[in-house]
Amino acid sequence: MFHILKSLFNLNRTWLDEKDTMKKFLIVGLGNIGQEYAETRHNIGFKVLDSLAQQEDFTFETAKLGDLATFKVKGRSILCLKPSTYMNRSGKALKYWMDKENIPLENVLVITDDINLPFGTLRLKAKGSDGGHNGLKDIQQVLQTTKYNRLRFGVGADFGKGRQIDYVLGEWNEEEKDALPERFKKTDELVRSFVLAGVNRTMNQFNGS
Protein backbone atom coordinates (compact mmCIF):
# COMPACT_ATOMS: atom_id res chain seq x y z
CA MET A 1 0.00 0.00 0.00
CA PHE A 2 2.84 2.36 0.91
CA HIS A 3 4.54 1.75 -2.45
CA ILE A 4 1.29 2.49 -4.31
CA LEU A 5 0.79 5.74 -2.40
CA LYS A 6 4.42 6.71 -3.00
CA SER A 7 4.06 6.05 -6.73
CA LEU A 8 0.89 8.11 -6.90
CA PHE A 9 2.61 10.92 -5.01
CA ASN A 10 5.58 10.88 -7.38
CA LEU A 11 3.28 10.89 -10.43
CA ASN A 12 1.31 13.79 -9.02
CA ARG A 13 4.49 15.72 -8.22
CA THR A 14 5.81 15.12 -11.76
CA TRP A 15 2.52 16.36 -13.23
CA LEU A 16 2.63 19.47 -11.06
CA ASP A 17 6.28 20.12 -11.99
CA GLU A 18 5.42 19.83 -15.70
CA LYS A 19 2.40 22.10 -15.22
CA ASP A 20 4.55 24.71 -13.45
CA THR A 21 7.18 24.46 -16.19
CA MET A 22 4.61 25.25 -18.87
CA LYS A 23 3.79 28.47 -17.02
CA LYS A 24 7.39 29.74 -17.14
CA PHE A 25 8.72 31.78 -20.04
CA LEU A 26 12.11 33.21 -21.03
CA ILE A 27 12.24 36.42 -23.07
CA VAL A 28 15.75 37.18 -24.35
CA GLY A 29 16.56 40.59 -25.80
CA LEU A 30 19.77 40.58 -27.85
CA GLY A 31 22.31 43.38 -27.69
CA ASN A 32 25.81 44.39 -26.64
CA ILE A 33 26.72 45.61 -23.18
CA GLY A 34 28.35 48.97 -22.66
CA GLN A 35 27.14 52.55 -22.87
CA GLU A 36 28.64 52.99 -26.33
CA TYR A 37 26.11 50.46 -27.69
CA ALA A 38 23.07 51.52 -25.66
CA GLU A 39 21.29 53.55 -28.35
CA THR A 40 22.39 51.59 -31.40
CA ARG A 41 20.08 49.73 -33.77
CA HIS A 42 21.77 46.41 -32.94
CA ASN A 43 20.59 46.81 -29.31
CA ILE A 44 16.88 46.87 -30.04
CA GLY A 45 16.43 43.65 -28.04
CA PHE A 46 17.66 45.42 -24.90
CA LYS A 47 15.45 48.44 -25.63
CA VAL A 48 12.34 46.30 -26.05
CA LEU A 49 12.94 44.73 -22.65
CA ASP A 50 13.62 48.13 -21.08
CA SER A 51 10.25 49.30 -22.39
CA LEU A 52 8.58 46.19 -21.03
CA ALA A 53 10.22 46.80 -17.64
CA GLN A 54 8.81 50.31 -17.55
CA GLN A 55 5.36 49.11 -18.55
CA GLU A 56 5.24 46.20 -16.09
CA ASP A 57 7.17 48.03 -13.33
CA PHE A 58 10.09 45.65 -12.81
CA THR A 59 13.84 46.23 -12.62
CA PHE A 60 16.83 44.32 -13.91
CA GLU A 61 19.59 43.04 -11.66
CA THR A 62 23.02 41.76 -12.61
CA ALA A 63 23.13 37.96 -12.63
CA LYS A 64 25.22 35.25 -14.23
CA LEU A 65 25.75 35.91 -17.95
CA GLY A 66 23.39 38.89 -18.05
CA ASP A 67 20.92 41.29 -16.49
CA LEU A 68 17.82 39.49 -15.25
CA ALA A 69 14.29 40.39 -14.16
CA THR A 70 11.01 38.57 -13.56
CA PHE A 71 7.36 39.55 -13.61
CA LYS A 72 4.04 37.72 -13.69
CA VAL A 73 1.04 37.87 -16.01
CA LYS A 74 -2.11 35.95 -15.05
CA GLY A 75 -0.26 33.21 -13.19
CA ARG A 76 2.56 32.92 -15.69
CA SER A 77 6.11 33.73 -14.67
CA ILE A 78 8.23 35.59 -17.23
CA LEU A 79 12.00 35.73 -16.97
CA CYS A 80 13.58 38.58 -18.98
CA LEU A 81 17.25 38.35 -19.91
CA LYS A 82 19.70 40.83 -21.44
CA PRO A 83 22.84 38.74 -22.06
CA SER A 84 26.18 40.21 -21.01
CA THR A 85 28.08 37.85 -23.31
CA TYR A 86 28.05 40.24 -26.29
CA MET A 87 26.00 39.50 -29.38
CA ASN A 88 28.03 36.68 -30.88
CA ARG A 89 27.85 34.59 -27.68
CA SER A 90 24.15 35.07 -26.96
CA GLY A 91 23.42 31.35 -27.03
CA LYS A 92 25.51 30.66 -23.93
CA ALA A 93 23.40 32.94 -21.72
CA LEU A 94 20.11 31.78 -23.20
CA LYS A 95 20.91 28.08 -22.71
CA TYR A 96 22.19 28.62 -19.16
CA TRP A 97 19.00 30.29 -17.94
CA MET A 98 16.71 28.02 -19.93
CA ASP A 99 18.30 24.99 -18.26
CA LYS A 100 18.61 26.54 -14.81
CA GLU A 101 14.93 27.55 -14.71
CA ASN A 102 13.76 24.42 -16.54
CA ILE A 103 12.00 26.43 -19.25
CA PRO A 104 10.95 24.48 -22.36
CA LEU A 105 12.22 25.75 -25.71
CA GLU A 106 8.69 26.49 -26.95
CA ASN A 107 8.39 29.03 -24.10
CA VAL A 108 11.51 30.95 -25.18
CA LEU A 109 11.30 34.14 -27.24
CA VAL A 110 14.38 35.86 -28.70
CA ILE A 111 14.12 39.53 -29.71
CA THR A 112 16.54 40.87 -32.30
CA ASP A 113 17.11 43.52 -34.97
CA ASP A 114 16.60 42.79 -38.67
CA ILE A 115 17.96 44.86 -41.56
CA ASN A 116 15.75 42.96 -44.01
CA LEU A 117 12.59 44.54 -42.59
CA PRO A 118 11.55 48.20 -42.86
CA PHE A 119 12.03 50.23 -39.71
CA GLY A 120 9.57 49.31 -36.97
CA THR A 121 8.09 46.29 -38.75
CA LEU A 122 7.55 43.32 -36.43
CA ARG A 123 7.80 39.72 -37.55
CA LEU A 124 7.39 36.81 -35.15
CA LYS A 125 8.44 33.36 -36.33
CA ALA A 126 8.58 29.94 -34.66
CA LYS A 127 11.57 28.82 -36.72
CA GLY A 128 13.92 29.99 -39.46
CA SER A 129 17.49 30.66 -40.47
CA ASP A 130 19.84 33.05 -38.70
CA GLY A 131 19.66 35.42 -41.68
CA GLY A 132 23.32 36.29 -41.20
CA HIS A 133 22.67 37.66 -37.70
CA ASN A 134 25.56 36.76 -35.37
CA GLY A 135 23.36 36.51 -32.28
CA LEU A 136 20.90 34.14 -33.92
CA LYS A 137 23.76 32.21 -35.48
CA ASP A 138 25.25 31.49 -32.06
CA ILE A 139 21.87 30.58 -30.55
CA GLN A 140 21.24 28.15 -33.40
CA GLN A 141 24.66 26.57 -32.87
CA VAL A 142 24.20 26.23 -29.09
CA LEU A 143 20.64 24.89 -29.29
CA GLN A 144 21.41 22.74 -32.34
CA THR A 145 18.08 23.69 -33.89
CA THR A 146 16.46 26.45 -35.93
CA LYS A 147 13.09 25.79 -34.27
CA TYR A 148 12.88 28.47 -31.63
CA ASN A 149 10.66 31.57 -31.41
CA ARG A 150 12.17 34.85 -32.52
CA LEU A 151 10.78 38.35 -32.85
CA ARG A 152 12.52 40.36 -35.54
CA PHE A 153 12.30 44.13 -35.20
CA GLY A 154 12.96 45.88 -38.49
CA VAL A 155 15.71 48.49 -38.48
CA GLY A 156 15.79 49.08 -42.24
CA ALA A 157 18.78 48.99 -44.54
CA ASP A 158 19.62 52.62 -45.27
CA PHE A 159 23.33 52.05 -45.82
CA GLY A 160 25.73 51.81 -48.71
CA LYS A 161 27.83 48.87 -49.82
CA GLY A 162 30.18 47.68 -47.08
CA ARG A 163 28.54 49.91 -44.45
CA GLN A 164 26.26 47.36 -42.76
CA ILE A 165 28.28 47.12 -39.53
CA ASP A 166 28.47 50.90 -39.21
CA TYR A 167 24.72 51.08 -39.75
CA VAL A 168 23.61 48.50 -37.18
CA LEU A 169 26.14 49.81 -34.66
CA GLY A 170 25.04 53.36 -35.41
CA GLU A 171 22.48 55.29 -33.38
CA TRP A 172 18.88 55.96 -34.34
CA ASN A 173 18.16 59.09 -36.36
CA GLU A 174 15.71 61.68 -35.02
CA GLU A 175 12.75 60.37 -37.02
CA GLU A 176 13.33 56.85 -35.72
CA LYS A 177 13.69 58.07 -32.14
CA ASP A 178 10.33 59.80 -32.38
CA ALA A 179 8.67 56.64 -33.71
CA LEU A 180 10.17 54.15 -31.25
CA PRO A 181 7.79 54.74 -28.28
CA GLU A 182 4.77 53.73 -30.37
CA ARG A 183 6.63 50.68 -31.64
CA PHE A 184 7.53 49.69 -28.09
CA LYS A 185 3.86 49.76 -27.09
CA LYS A 186 3.28 47.20 -29.83
CA THR A 187 6.16 44.97 -28.70
CA ASP A 188 4.88 45.11 -25.10
CA GLU A 189 1.51 43.85 -26.34
CA LEU A 190 3.16 41.19 -28.49
CA VAL A 191 5.19 39.74 -25.60
CA ARG A 192 2.11 39.51 -23.39
CA SER A 193 0.18 37.86 -26.24
CA PHE A 194 2.99 35.34 -26.79
CA VAL A 195 2.83 34.35 -23.12
CA LEU A 196 -0.96 34.21 -22.87
CA ALA A 197 -2.14 33.19 -26.33
CA GLY A 198 0.81 31.34 -27.85
CA VAL A 199 3.04 31.92 -30.83
CA ASN A 200 0.58 31.06 -33.62
CA ARG A 201 -2.21 33.39 -32.53
CA THR A 202 0.34 36.11 -31.81
CA MET A 203 1.86 35.78 -35.28
CA ASN A 204 -1.56 36.14 -36.86
CA GLN A 205 -2.32 39.24 -34.84
CA PHE A 206 0.97 41.14 -34.94
CA ASN A 207 3.06 40.15 -37.95
CA GLY A 208 3.54 43.04 -40.33
CA SER A 209 2.12 45.54 -37.86
Looking at the annotation, which residues are catalytic?
42
8 A C-beta contact, residue 124 and residue 202: yes
Is 86 annotated as a binding-site member? yes
Q: How many Å apart are CA 208 and CA 189, to the nearest integer? A: 14
Is 88 annotated as a binding-site member? yes
Tell me the longest C-alpha to C-alpha distance in the chain.
Answer: 76
Q: How many Å apart are CA 138 and CA 124, to the nearest integer? A: 19
Q: How many Å apart are CA 171 and CA 39, to the nearest integer? A: 5
φ/ψ of 68, rounded to 5, equals: -130, 145
Is 96 annotated as a binding-site member? no
Residue numbering of the annotated binding site for tRNA:
37, 86, 88, 134
